[in-house]
Structure 1
Amino acid sequence: MNCVDTLPVHLHRAIPQGACFAIIAPAGSARLDTHKVSQWFADRGYRCRIYPGALQAQGYLAGPDPQRLQDLHDAFADPAIDAILCMRGGYGSMRLLDQLNFELIRRNPKPLIGYSDITALHTALYRHCGMLTFHGGMLNADLLGGKLAPTESSLLAQLGGHVRAGEQIVHPAEFALDSVLPGEARGPLLGGNLSMLGATMGTLAELDTQGCILFIEDVNEPLYRVDRLLTQMRLAGKLAGIKGVLVGDFAGITTAALAPLLVETFGPLGVPVLAGWRSGHCDPNVCLPLGARVRLDCGRQSLVLEQDLFQA
């Protein structure tokens, strides 16, 4: 499945009040206060169901692979579940890729929400199911972690269908953006954690970047390793066909320090690059609809939806 402007993307049903969120842990483990979790959803007019793997721990994983895989499949298959929220990142999603039942998922498309290690699932579901997913706050560190308001509000606004075609995905004004390279571009917004994009090359979750607006973010990666990851993508031919770049948070690296590398990498391609976007391992963590067609405008420093996220 190629990343082109005409790609049909499954549009989910907007999440209504009273909807039920599945809480799964396809990667790492974390302690959960189940009462606190249930109350968080209830306070916002929703319900939740915590799946078994989210309450388990096996070393650096939240339960064994079969349990985490079963939770993911069960959440998609259950008609009572409206959206699937990942508990945290860490590591482990890649271990499930070759066992995913894409046919089951295609028959039951639902919003999947997460970032970081969850990038492996985002890219796999787009490539094999044409699914729109959400690079947004996860339960443990983001929604229960007291992050700034746009983290929660941007997620719930998009899931609720309140951000429509022609509207901006609002970026908090108090955080400056940097138009590293000028221009305007249109295409599906794809990408996620840069380390995971590199790790999944050569796998069934490898991202086809042709014609897309590439989004990248990362954490705990020094500048030389970001250089190595971008060079890997360039040498693998993953940058040649992109239309533009949205650069999220690179925790520990300022935009000023990152900008020369961005110019060196993307300048020869003649594509616009907007950096400093507050999505990723940061506070706030603005939600992004992966797979949705967008317009990136570096002159106006804006990101505009060019399609509705949900069916009417």
Structure 2
Amino acid sequence: MTVRPTHTLCPNAPVPALPMEGLIGVIAPAGPAALDTHKAVQWMRDRGYSLKVFPGVYEKEGYLAGSDEVRLNDLHAAFADTEVDAIICLRGGYGTPRLLDRIDFDLLRNNAKPFIGYSDITALHLAISRHAGFVTFHGPLLNADLLGKRQQPTESSFLNMLRGHLKTGSVLAHPEAFPLTTIEPGIAHGRLLGGNLSMIAATMGTPYEIDAEGVILFIEDINEPLYRIDRLLTHLRLAGTLRKLRGVLVGDVAGVDVPSLERLLKQTFEPLRIPVLSGWRSGHCDPNLTLPMGALVRLNAGRQELLLEQDVVIRR
């Protein structure tokens, strides 16, 4: 059984918990989508929250939700707004990387709060972890997931994480209806970081690439055939990223034959002698579980268990 060392770990800082009757801001830093504002407001109200929609959510510029300036301004405004308690992204798509070199990371750091999204939003998770140093959440998008009525525990995972119901020592629940697969057994301690595999690879060689030292890598993807998943993982291997890892958690890789994917994972990670657990229901899937990016966790691949080793939010 592999037990990776715990020294030299520097987890990202927790953020303030989402308070009851809090205000959740929605922004669209990537692609456009039509928002049913009444439906969104009612969804939040039914759960005890208010919703603030930032202007760029209603804009569209080709495959982008408004111009770079509009999307960047909304990102900054949502963090700077002291009344906004958490920020959720409207959708993924494409566009987030275009903002990275213009983000005021000092502003984000000084106004840290829960930030939620996945897919293209991975670029922001990686950049915030590296340059602002607080925990963010790989979790549901407003349109596709919360308003799209993803099955439980999508909603409960999201709310329990942000409300602070999960503390240091909590084991993250995974639905029994979706069996996990141990690719490589063992135990590892590290910062959980990653997201969309295509986006992780796309940021390599930039100041916003994943800081992989001491990391338990989380990966997911969609619409990528197996040979392209192979190419993306090979890119990370050749870049020296994989040898820095302490473990791997594989989420949903939509559209890929599962046995074939597991063979590829075995081929890729067996030489590294690190624990690898596959099948976690996070990403472009239903249900879509929330994961804390940058947080210290323990992965026990043999027992198929992921445990928090730090509080990810702090109640005020």
Q: Does the TM-score normalized on the shorter chain lie above 0.5? A: yes
How many Å separate the matches in 2 of 1:146 and 1:9?
Answer: 31
Aligned to 2:3: none
Number of residue pairs aligned between Structure 1 and Structure 2: 310
CA-based RMSD: 1.2
Is the contact made by 2:11 and 2:294 (CA closer than 8 Å) also made in structure 1? Answer: no
Where 1:32 maps in the other structure, the secondary structure is: coil
Aligned to 2:208: 205
Is structure 2 residue 252 aligned with structure 1 residue 259? no
Residue 208 of structure 1: how far off its partner (Å): 1.1
How many Å separate the matches in 2 of 1:4 and 1:121?
Answer: 27
Letter paired with 2:157: S
Out of 282, 293, 314, the residue aligned to residue 290 of structure 1 is 293
Is the contact made by 1:5 and 1:187 (CA closer than 8 Å) also made in structure 2? Answer: no
Letter paired with 2:26: I
Q: After superposition, give the CA deviation of every residue in 1:112-163 in whole Å (9 maximum; x if it has no partner).
A: 1000000000000000011100000010100000111111110000000001
Is structure 2 residue 14 aligned with structure 1 residue 11? yes
Aligned to 2:111: 108
Aligned to 2:188: 185
How many Å separate the matches in 2 of 1:137 and 1:251?
Answer: 16
Is structure 2 residue 250 aligned with structure 1 residue 247? yes
Residue 263 of structure 1: how far off its partner (Å): 1.0
Out of 161, 164, 181, the residue aligned to residue 164 of structure 2 is 161
TM-score, structure 2 normalization: 0.96
Aligned to 2:28: 25
Is the contact made by 1:5 and 1:293 (CA closer than 8 Å) also made in structure 2? Answer: no
Distance 1:6 1:209, change over 3 A: same
How many Å separate the matches in 2 of 1:202 and 1:277?
Answer: 28
Is the contact made by 2:164 and 2:314 (CA closer than 8 Å) also made in structure 1? Answer: no
How many Å separate the matches in 2 of 1:127 and 1:105?
Answer: 12
Letter paired with 2:162: L
TM-score, structure 1 normalization: 0.97
Residue 299 of structure 1: how far off its partner (Å): 1.6
Residue 7 of structure 1: how far off its partner (Å): 1.3
Q: Which runs of 5+ in 1 are unaligned?
A: none
Is structure 2 residue 300 aligned with structure 1 residue 305? no
How many Å separate the matches in 1 of 2:205 and 2:301?
Answer: 32
Where 1:240 maps in the other structure, the secondary structure is: helix
Aligned to 2:63: 60
Residue 8 of structure 1: how far off its partner (Å): 4.6
How many Å separate the matches in 2 of 1:273 and 1:295?
Answer: 12
Residue 71 of structure 1: how far off its partner (Å): 0.2
Where 2:126 maps in the other structure, the secondary structure is: helix
Q: Which runs of 5+ in 2 are unaligned?
A: 1-5
Runs of 4+ in 1 over 2 A off after TM superposition: 3-6
Residue 13 of structure 1: how far off its partner (Å): 1.2
Letter paired with 2:262: A
Aligned to 1:73: 76
How many Å separate the matches in 1 of 2:68 and 2:7?
Answer: 33
Is the contact made by 2:11 and 2:191 (CA closer than 8 Å) also made in structure 1? Answer: no
Residue 311 of structure 1: how far off its partner (Å): 2.7
